[in-house]
Amino acid sequence: MPIKKLFFATSNRHKFEEVSRVFSKWGIELEQADIKFKEDKTKTIQGIAAECAKSAAEKLKKPVIVDDTGIFFVAMENWPGNSPNDVFQQIGYDGLLKALEGKTREAYFETAAAYCEPGQEPVVFTDRLEGTITHEVFGVNKDTMPYNRIFIAKGFKEPNVFLAPEVKEKISHRTKAFMKLAEYVSLQDKGENI
């Protein structure tokens, strides 16, 4: 039976709106499930997404999608990594920018999008967006996630915070990972072999 509705376990409004637009193209409605997870930060973002999806599917007894996203500074191995919000809360923009002084400013966002049905093993798709970290903070009055103010995507001249929503969504690591996942779910519904 075709899946017409999935639960997206997230408390983040920005994520929910972005991913809802992706799934609507496949005729799948998302419902937000604000479930708190205890994330094992010793795992990769793929491991965290898979574990949280399995936990949420068992809790809700419904098919669930979950994502985990990190930002990785090439000069600092696995940092901020799978804990971008914690790192930002602890040291803010000053600390982030200071950490890169005299080092390469290359960085990338990576999203792991996981899908799980109750009693099944999760399926995970990933995508990344490469770019560089700026030397200063931009668009402090704009409603966005913190790293968008200091990240310039490859091929662009201005930080993500200034990109038009449709442009940002077109290059988004999260959108691309969830497009792979939505296609997978859609093909599963049709009984096609993946």
**Residue 80 is assigned to a structural domain of this protein:** yes
**Residue 116 is assigned to a structural domain of this protein:** yes
pLDDT at 143: 85
Total domains, the chain: 1
Tokens of 169: 């969504």
Half-sphere exposure of 164 (CA within 13 A, CB side): 3
Least confident of 39-43, 125-129, 186-190: 186-190
pLDDT at 1: 46
**Residue 69 is assigned to a structural domain of this protein:** yes
**Residue 171 is assigned to a structural domain of this protein:** yes
Task: Work out the pLDDT band at 57, boundaries 50, 70, 90.
Answer: very high
**Residue 170 is assigned to a structural domain of this protein:** yes
| Cβ-contact 166, 9 below 8 angstroms | no
Q: Residue range 49-66: average pLDDT? A: 94
**Residue 31 is assigned to a structural domain of this protein:** yes
Strands 123-133 and 151-153: antiparallel
**Residues marked as catalytic:** 68
Residue 192 has pLDDT above 60, yes or no: no
Tokens of 147: 């790293």
Residue 165 has pLDDT above 60, yes or no: yes
**Residue 194 is assigned to a structural domain of this protein:** no
Tokens of 59: 């809790």
Q: What are phi and psi of 74, to 5 degrees?
A: -60, -35
CATH number at residue 109: 3.90.950.10
pLDDT at 189: 59
Q: Residue range 64-76: average pLDDT? A: 95
Strands (E), the chain: 5-9, 29-33, 64-73, 80-81, 106-116, 123-133, 151-153
Task: Work out the pLDDT band at 145, boundaries 50, 70, 90.
Answer: confident
Nearest residue to 7 via CA among 115, 159, 134: 115
Mean of pLDDT over the chain: 91
Q: Residue range 90-103: average pLDDT? A: 96
Question: Is pTM beyond 0.75 here?
Answer: yes
Distance, CA of 102 to CA of 125 (rounded, Å): 34
Per the structure, the complete domain to which residue 160 belongs is given by 5-189
Residue 72 has pLDDT above 50, yes or no: yes
pLDDT at 194: 39
Distance, CA of 27 to CA of 37 (rounded, Å): 28
- Alpha helices in 120-191, H assignment, sequence order: 165-171, 173-189
**Residue 19 is assigned to a structural domain of this protein:** yes
Task: Work out the pLDDT band at 2, boundaries 50, 70, 90.
Answer: low
